[in-house]
Structure 1
């Protein structure tokens, strides 16, 4: 059986992002950053339930206690099951917003922030602990994106999209701050920009290439392994889901493509037949 790509959830997202497969409910959550929309849907019932917030939303992750915690313009926000919301912590200066976010195995939410204009070195990485404390982790970034951890939890990955870099860090026991930063891979101009990522069970990275119309798979050492063309110019992120974690869900964007872009831009794609499985995702522990 070869690779099969279908539209899992039709949509018109300006910038779809942050796919999260909830293995407890069998549902996918994703966002449209610029419209402030959070979508949740099951593959068997592809009509999503939506929550629209009066703010930008980079990602939303289900909470163990119900609802979601989100990375928003304000910083970190609490989204209740009924759709009401409140900013938990205001951590960002004016003119910035949160971007991509993901929970680590301890249930803490890691999120990158960036300048609205992607001004160089104005972005940072922050952690929302399960007790509500916000911890600054790393400064001097431009557009932090694509977070993930190796299967053993000892390596943390972080993309800086504007720099076209995939960074790797060591994770030490009982130390929140990642150490020994190094560039795992750097993409040249003209091939698209690395955006969101997912780590598979073999420890390899699947990266959505904004403007590159494809997904790229890298080894844990940063070696190029394969690529999968997709029928959209701007894939934004990806997450493994399905009962066996063998379906790669890919969010996409319509931004800048005109009023009627060709193809399923703005929808969520499902990629089957990759021959690999993903890792279980983690809810926010608060």
Structure 2
């Protein structure tokens, strides 16, 4: 790819050989800690990167993403059956969106108004059953887009006028006009196709209008410009990078997975399941805490 920058000097931020599907990294503004989840391990990790101290919370069900709360303790969470709250006493399921056993919630993120957006999908990734949900916290969630396969990473540009969305097993990256005040989307438009480069997974948006996508199965994170062109690549030493998030100092943190890898593949990629970090020379669009 001509004119594509390759980013180097990747480091390990959190070493782990036990997390199955590390996902959903986000920084907690209350503590400065890195939060991330193990979807199938049903865990929430809270890492103080300055000391190396890690706190692990068992959720008791699959968890796709968590978000720090603005004024209260604990976290909002997208879990197997819907949206809930995680505190020291465990998970309280607040909005049971998905009573069907073949469906589950996946990755999610909070918008500029403190609303929690998350995708849902069929466990066998049946086309057309994926949906994008928005939970405001003061009532049931609503479906804002449907007809997808595996809605995954999402984020907004710095102007708060565009939402980017990865549909993993469709190998598509979408954009949609975003109307911030009511929390509404325009039509999803295909921005790029990723067939053959790995599956587009979690993503993060920078202040220059570009967005960074973890390419699951592709051993890299890609930086796309607003027109859907690849302008940067971060090689990673594992087969399955899963998501990424900017820290407050502008460094990019990258989660990864061990799930489905053979013993031989794990021997070649022993850091699978760990969290990596790299300097990018830019800053991320701030991600807000959940308002309820």
Does residue 215 in structure 1 map to residue 221 in structure 2? yes
Q: Could you tell me how far apart the structure 1 residues matched to 2:13 and 2:181 are?
A: 39
What residue number does 1:7 align with? 12
| Coordinate RMSD, CA, aligned | 1.3
**Structure 2 residues without counterparts, runs of 5 or longer:** 1-6
Alignment deviations for residues 59-116 of structure 1 (CA, whole Å, 9 cap, x no partner): 0111111200110111001111x14211101111221100001000000000100011
CA contact (8 A) 2:115 2:290 kept: yes
| 1:201 shift after superposition | 1.2
Contact persistence 1:88–1:132 (CA under 8 A) = no
* Mean Cα deviation higher: 130-139 or 228-237: 130-139
- Partners of 1:38 and 1:132 in 2: CA distance: 25
Asked whether the 8 Å contact 2:179–2:185 carries over to 1, the reply is: yes
* Residue of structure 1 equivalent to 2:66: 60
Aligned residue for 1:17? 23
Query: Compared with structure 1, are the counterparts of its residues 203 and 193 closer, same or farther at alpha carbon in structure 2 (3 Å cutoff)?
Result: same
Does 1:247 pair with 2:251?
A: yes
Q: 1:36-71, CA deviations, whole angstroms, 9 ceiling, x for partnerless residues?
A: 000001211223100012210000111111200110
CA drift at 1:271: 1.1
1:139 counterpart = 2:146: yes
TM-score (norm. length: structure 2): 0.92
1:198-237 correspondence to structure 2 within 5 Å? 198-237=204-243
2:109 is equivalent to residue 102 of structure 1: yes
For structure 1, the residue ranges without an aligned partner over 5 or more in a row are none
1:116-154 C-alpha deviation (Å, 9 max, x unpaired): 111111111111103133111111111000110010100
TM-score (norm 1): 0.94
**3-state SS of paired residue (2:159):** coil
Give the match's secondary structure for 2:254: strand
Secondary structure, in 3 states, of the residue corresponding to 1:113? Answer: strand
Distance across 2 between alignment mates of 1:97 and 1:173: 26
Q: 1:219 to 1:139 in 2, by over 3 A?
A: same
Aligned to 2:40: 34
1:180 Cα shift? Answer: 2.9
Structure 2: how far apart are the matches of 1:45 and 1:9? 11
- How far apart in 2 are the matches of 1:173 and 1:193? 29
- Give yes or no for the alignment of 1:196 onto 2:202: yes
Q: Is the 8 A contact 2:220 2:236 kept in 1?
A: yes
Pair 1:79 & 2:106 matched:
no
Say if 1:17 and 1:251, in contact at 8 Å, map to a contact too: yes
Do the aligned residues in 1 keep the contact of 2:168 with 2:200 (CA within 8 Å)?
yes
Q: Is the 2:79–2:106 Cα contact (8 Å) retained in structure 1?
A: yes
Whole-Å Cα distance in 2 between the matches of residues 138 and 235 of structure 1? 26
Distance 1:172 1:17 in 2: 27
CA distance in 2, matches of 1:173, 1:31: 27
- Name the SS of the counterpart of 1:78 in structure 2: strand
Alignment partner, residue 285 of structure 1: 291
Structure 1 residue ranges, 4+ long, deviating more than 3 angstroms after superposition: none
Specify the SS of the correspondent of 2:188. Answer: strand
